[in-house]
Amino acid sequence: MKLADLPLDDPEDLEHGAGERAAAATRSTWVSVVVNIVLTAVQVVVGVLAHSQALIADGIHSLSDLVADFVVLLASHHSRKDADEDHPYGHHRYETAASLVLGALLLAVGVGMLWSAVTKLQAPEAIPRVDLIALWVALGALVAKESLFRYMLAVATRVKSSMLVANAWHARSDAASSLVVSLGIVGNLAGYPILDPIAALIVGFMVGKMGWEFGWDALHDLMDRGIDEAEVAAIRQTVAETPGVESVHDLRTRKMGDLVVVDVHIEVQADLSVEAGHDIAVEARRRIMRRHRVLNVMTHVDPWHRPDADHSVVPG
């Protein structure tokens, strides 16, 4: 999902917004920690006692969520650090790095689930019948994970944090996996034991796919990927509407966590003084910082000549 622009009045508001995101990340993540501790313990224990590989796989998925939660807490703490000599733009990319770690974690867990399920399917006659209690635990986990997803996504949308969005959808993948596990257990109880490891196989594929997508997306952000065309066009319009700006070109962006760094060339009338051109550039920067979720703007001032002006030089 795309994150909408957040109107900011000045750099202090930007700093306040970053603090709000960090606080929201901490609160929502600790809620997730408590939920996942309970789910991991119950799913794994009941899965072993009830002979359900799918429920055990779902419990391991919940355990990966628990590890992911602590990765988010660590990234949230470090991303709040002020800029320093080694990090002049701050530490906002800790959030992007956390998203990359989350993706890698999900991918590894998914591959492990796939391997375990395939091993079981190679000996279908050895698959045991699942006890009924496994179904009730799977359904309870489904309700808990879906509720956790909706809560975390609401928080992520409110504070506009891509890291929290990634963690929220991680919780949604758990809800989807619990649904598949429930169906697999129902099939096992109905007399088709092979459906339990098949459910575990599907869960592994779902987890691995989501991990790949999160990791690939975060990797591109770490490689200075720009924002989408709609956001670029909005920033370009803001610059073009600044009094004194005659033209805009070479507008480039790169992501810095959930914020954006902008480089732009503006053209002002060639006969203006250096001071006047500087004032126009400062105003353009101020407008961008107010209207868009931008961390910093670098402006380059170029001379602009009227199309009908005579630029020829008369020899002396």
Q: Which of 16-30, 134-148, 155-169 has the highest mean pLDDT?
A: 134-148
Question: What mean pLDDT do residues 233-259 have?
Answer: 88
The model's pLDDT over 116-153, given as tens digits with 9 standing for 90+, comes to 788 878 877 777 888 899 999 999 999 998 898 888 88
Position with higher pLDDT, 285 vs 206: 285
- Mean per-residue pLDDT of the chain: 79
Structure tokens at 240: 């073009």
CB 271 within 8 A of CB 105: no
Cα atoms in the 13 Å half-sphere on the side-chain side of 119: 7
Q: Taking phi first (over 0 means left), then psi (-120 to 50 degrees means alpha), and beta for anything else, what does residue 229 get?
A: alpha
Ordered by start, the domain boundaries in the chain are 11-222, 229-304
- Predicted TM-score (pTM) of the model is 0.60
Query: Using CA atoms, how far apart are residues 64 and 92, in angstroms rounded to an integer?
Result: 24
Residue 224 has pLDDT above 90, yes or no: no
Share of the chain above pLDDT 70, in %: 80
Q: For 30-34, 232-236, 244-248, which range has the lowest pLDDT when averaged over its residues?
A: 30-34
3-state secondary structure of 91: coil
> Above pLDDT 90, what percent of the chain?
17
Residue 278 backbone phi and psi in degrees, to 5: -65, -45
Which pLDDT does position 3 carry in this prediction? Answer: 41
Of the candidates 152, 149, 143, 120, the one whose C-alpha atom is nearest the C-alpha of residue 26 is 152
Q: Which CATH code, of 1.20.1510.10, 1.10.390.10, 2.60.40.10, 3.40.630.10, is assigned to 11-222?
A: 1.20.1510.10
Paired residues of 249 in beta bridges: 265
- Cα separation, 110 vs 152, whole angstroms: 22
Please tell me the distance from the alpha carbon of residue 232 to that of residue 240, in angstroms, as a whole number: 12
pLDDT category at 172 given cuts 50, 70, 90 is: confident
Taking Cα atoms as reference points, which of 121, 122, 117, 135 lies closest to residue 189?
Answer: 135
Torsion of CA 128, 130, 134, 135, to 10 degrees: 140
Report phi then psi at 45, rounded to 5: -65, -50
User: Band of the pLDDT at 235, cuts 50, 70, 90?
Assistant: very high
Query: How many of the other CB atoms lie within 10 Å of CB of 49?
Result: 12
| CATH class of the region 229-304 | alpha beta
What is the predicted pLDDT for the residue at 111?
87
Residue 93 pLDDT > 60: yes
The whole-angstrom separation of Cα 203 and Cα 210 is 11
Nearest CA-CA partner of 257 in 89, 143, 46, 59 = 89
Separation between Cα atoms, residue 104 and residue 207, nearest integer Å: 11
